Amino acid sequence: MSLGRRFLTTGGLPLVEFDLQFLVQAGGAGGGQTGGAGAYSGGGGAGGFRSSVGNSGGGTAAEPAITALSGDVLTIIVGSGGTVNSNGSNSSITSANSNFTTVTSIGGGKGGGGGSGAPGNGGCGGGYHTSSVGLGTAGQGRNGGPGDNTGNSSYHMGGGGGGTAFAGNSSGPGNGGNGTISSIISTSIANAQSVGEVSGSNVYYGGGGGGYDQISNSSVYIGLGGGASLHGSGIARNSLINSGGAGAACDQLTTRTQTYGSSGVVILKMPTSSYTGITTGSPVVLTDGADTILIFKSSGTLTT
């Protein structure tokens, strides 16, 4: 729950200080590309995740809320998702008056593959077909998975991309790692606004992309939190918008949209008594009890 306003003075002028809760999800990466016959490519890594509510990424505890001051202008950047063989972009919150240290979540690392080279490092690491996987960032996300490099013609599996809560699957079909659960918004708001991924009573952010499954196994190779899958008897799906989910491994058809990462999202929550209503970028504005929630699906500003 957000705390109320605290009144200060500087140079005889009144200032209002309040706690600003946040969730900063970066953009997910694109999947790796196969080479030759089409095998071994890894899923992209999810965008990094930082939050003051519940948990931050990589299994770390929630960060302290931002201490906001009246009269400041906060710039919110929402990172875009990567295309095939491309990292996702960073998301951030910056104070014009330097009242707090910029909060930055790092875009996901691209998946590796025979046609795209080594996987990328990022908020979460991209998957690959060897042990040299992409690395995640401490406090934001996990590593990619190495997949299966046995050379067996039935198992040319690429590793899953790392999720913000779990690493990419290291064997078999290469499941993307699951994302992090957050309660900064409810499941009903998340569903209504197409933010994150709702599963059961939880909202997940930053799921890794599925690794390549040449044999079209029937399991669903996704990471909860918007991760994508490509093959599997018609169960392929795109990464989910505004989730930071990563793209699936790519075969020779680089135009498949399932291989693209999704954009991130920035969510702010503050006492309604401290909300000025001065924004740019058209965030979604909602009331939750005594608090106001802003959901930035694209970049903008908030004047506090």
Task: Check residue 173 and give its pLDDT.
Answer: 67
* Bridge partners (DSSP) listed for residue 21: 269
- Beta strands 49-51; 13-25: pairing state: antiparallel
Structure tokens at 180: 């992090």
Give whole-number Cα distances, 218 to 214, 221, 230, 281, in Å: 11, 9, 11, 41
Supply φ then ψ for residue 193, to 5 degrees: -100, 0
The pTM (predicted TM-score) of the whole model is: 0.92
Task: Check residue 39 and give its pLDDT.
Answer: 67
- Beta strands 91-95; 73-77: pairing state: antiparallel
Alpha helices in the chain (DSSP H): 187-193
Q: Which of 299, 292, 282 is nearest to 76 (CA)?
A: 299
Query: Residue 159, CB half-sphere, CA atoms under 13 Å: how many?
Result: 33
Element at 218 (helix H, strand E): none
Q: Which of 122, 55, 121, 113 is nearest to 85 (CA)?
A: 113
Task: Check residue 34 and give its pLDDT.
Answer: 82
- The rounded distance, in Å, linking the Cα atoms of 159 and 138 is 20
Residue 259 three-state SS: helix
* Bridge partners (DSSP) listed for residue 284: 295
Mean pLDDT (10-residue bins), the chain, 304 residues: 50 76 98 75 96 96 97 98 96 97 98 90 93 94 84 67 92 84 98 98 97 63 88 76 94 80 98 97 97 98 98
Task: Check residue 96 and give its pLDDT.
Answer: 97
Task: Check residue 16 and give its pLDDT.
Answer: 84
Is the Cβ–Cβ distance between 210 and 229 less than 8 Å? yes
Query: Residue 111, CB half-sphere, CA atoms under 13 Å: how many?
Result: 54
